[in-house]
Amino acid sequence: MVAYLGNLDEEDREAMRQAAQGSRRGAHRDYLREEVSPRWVEVDVDRVEIRRCREFGAVWLGWQLIAKLGLETFLAGEMAQGREQVPWDTMCWVLVLSRLCDPSSELYIAEHLYARTALVDLLGVPERCVNDDRLYRALDALLPHKRRLESYLKERMGELFKLSYDLLLYDVTSTYFEGEMAGNPQAQRGYSRDKRPDCKQVCIGLVVSRCGMSLGYEVFEGNRHDTDEPIGFGCWIGG
C-alpha cells in the first residue's frame, strides 16, 4: 500500500500508521473507518530552554566519510591497544574530525572545540578524557603508522575516485620556530619562505595526484633544498 501523508491530519496519519502495521490484506480499510484519537501534548513555550547544545552535522558527516574509507577498521587493526584509558585510534579520530570541521590547535580542541560538538556521543569519549596532553600523545602513537596509512589511503581513494597516478606533483614549503629547538635535529636555518632567516625551520614536502588529491607528505631538515631528491616517498609511490 502507498499513501501520500502530506495533507492528512493527525487522526488520518494515525490511521495510516496502524494500517501499515496490519498483517492481513485489506486491513487498512478497517482502520480508516475506526475512530482514532489524535495524540497531542501541550507545551508552555515560556518554560522551554536549550541545554547542552552540540554541533552535530559536520562531525557526523566526517565520521561517515571515515567509515566509507574503511579507516576506522584499518586504524584499529594497526594500533595495538594497551592499558590506556582511551584507545589511541579513538583519540586519533578526535584529532581528525576536529581538524576537518574546525582546524585548530590541540589545546583549543581540548579546552573549547570538543565540548561543543557531538563527538562525545559519536565516539563515546567523555569530555574529561580529552586534554592536550592525551591529544599530543595520540599524535606520537600515530606517527609510526604514517607510511602504512598513506599507502592504504592511496589505494582506497584510487578505488573510490578512479585516480590516476601517471603524474604526481611535488612541492615543498616550510614552517619556522622561535627558539633554539635544541631537541629537534631537523630544525635548521635555511631559505625562509616566511622571511624569517633568523629562525630555525623544517621543510615539508607534499605529493598530490594530477587532480590535487593529497597522497603523502614528509618532513625534512630546514636547510634542505627544493631540488634535492624527495627521499621517503618511495614506499607508497610504488604501491
pLDDT digits (tens, 9 = 90+) for 92-130: 999 999 999 999 999 999 999 999 999 999 999 999 999
The conformation of residue 214, written as its DSSP 8-state character, comes to: E
- Return the C-alpha cell found at 117: 560538538
Residue range(s) defining the domain that contains residue 229: 167-237
pLDDT of 194 > 70? The answer is yes
Dihedral of CA 194/197/201/203: which sign?
A: positive
Q: Are residues 175 and 223 in the same domain?
A: yes
- Residue ranges in the chain assigned as alpha helix (H): 10-20, 27-33, 57-69, 71-78, 88-101, 106-108, 119-123, 132-142, 146-161, 234-237
Q: 216 and 233 in contact (C-beta within 8 Å)?
A: yes
Instruction: Check whether residue 66 and residue 111 sit in a common domain.
Output: yes
Q: Side chain identity at 233, as an amino acid letter?
A: F
Cα(214)–Cα(164) distance, integer angstroms: 13
Q: Is residue 151 part of a domain?
A: no
Last residue of a domain, one of 96, 111, 145: 145
Supply the pTM of this predicted model: 0.69
| pLDDT band per the 50, 70, 90 thresholds, residue 6 | low
Same domain, 140 and 182: no
Q: Is 160 part of a structural domain of the chain?
A: no
85 lies in the same domain as 129:
yes
Q: Kindly tell me the burial class for residue 238, based on how many C-beta atoms sit within 10 Å of its own C-beta (0-12, 13-18, 19 or more).
A: exposed
128 and 193 assigned to the same domain: no
Number of compact structural domains in the chain: 3
d(CA 200, CA 27): 79
What is the phi/psi pair of residue 188, to 5°? -135, 160
156 domain residue, yes or no = no
pLDDT for 75 beyond 60: yes
Looking at the domain assignment, is residue 157 inside a domain?
A: no
Please check whether residues 111 and 134 belong to one and the same domain.
Answer: yes
In a domain, residue 206? The reply is yes
Read off the C-alpha cell for 9.
491530519
User: Edge-to-edge strands of the sheet including 214-221?
Assistant: 169-176, 201-208, 214-221
In-domain check, residue 162: no
Domain check: are 98 and 132 in the same one? yes
Helices 146-161 and 71-78: crossing angle in degrees, nearest 10, is 160
Q: Are residues 95 and 127 in the same domain?
A: yes
Q: Is the same domain home to 227 and 178?
A: yes
Residue 231 covered by a domain: yes
Instruction: Judge if 140 and 173 occupy the same domain.
Output: no
Read off the pLDDT of residues 134-191 as tens digits, 9 standing for 90 and up. Answer: 999 999 999 999 999 999 998 998 888 888 888 888 888 999 999 999 999 999 999 9
pLDDT at 239: 43
Kindly state whether residues 134 and 82 are assigned to the same domain: yes
In this structure, are 31 and 83 located in the same domain? Answer: no
Answer whether residue 214 is part of any domain. Answer: yes
For residue 236, the model assigns a pLDDT of 46
